[in-house]
Structure 1
């Protein structure tokens, strides 16, 4: 199964759990500490799965940088007339 399928399966199970907790709250009452802890844990699980789904969607489709085509034609030499040769100094001067 893919990550997306697994996350969908987990989400369905959590939805079932959430409904079951709701039915328990109706039968037992929502005032008890135990049922409030179960409800809070179910809420935390839903939030965690939502965060995991976001993280999985980011990692699933990494964006490739756009490709740039570089021509094989030689550069125009006039582009370099005002620059010095790197590390060699100016053309009309000599190194010490």
Structure 2
């Protein structure tokens, strides 16, 4: 199964859980500590699955391999560095200690 199929199946299970929790609340009452805890846990599961769905969508949208960039073997033009100093060595007319 694909990730999308698994998440859809999980979402259906959570929908069933929400319906079952709702029926239990009608029988037991929603004010009991245990029932509130079950409701909160079910809500947290729903939020977590929503985060997983977003993460899966980002992963699917992102390219799997970065595009390769060819770097030529030819030396760079020295005129690009005329006005710079060699880092850590001082200027061209000075010597390192």
TM-score (norm. length: structure 2): 0.66
**Post-superposition CA distance 1:19-38 (Å, at most 9, x none):** 00000000100010000000
Structure 1 gaps of 5+ residues are: 67-79, 85-96
- Is the counterpart of residue 33 in structure 1 residue 33 in structure 2? yes
> Alpha-carbon deviation of 1:65?
7.7
Counterpart for residue 17 of structure 2: 17
Instruction: Please say which structure displays the higher CA radius of gyration.
Output: 1
Matches within 5 A, 1:1-96: 1-63=1-63
| Inter-partner Cα distance in structure 2 for 1:6 and 1:19 | 20
Structure 2 gaps of 5+ residues are: 68-78, 84-97
| Inter-partner Cα distance in structure 2 for 1:32 and 1:24 | 11
Greater relative contact order, per chain length (Cα 8 Å cut-off, separation 6+)? 1
TM-score (norm. length: structure 1): 0.66
The alignment yields a C-alpha RMSD, in angstroms, of 3.4
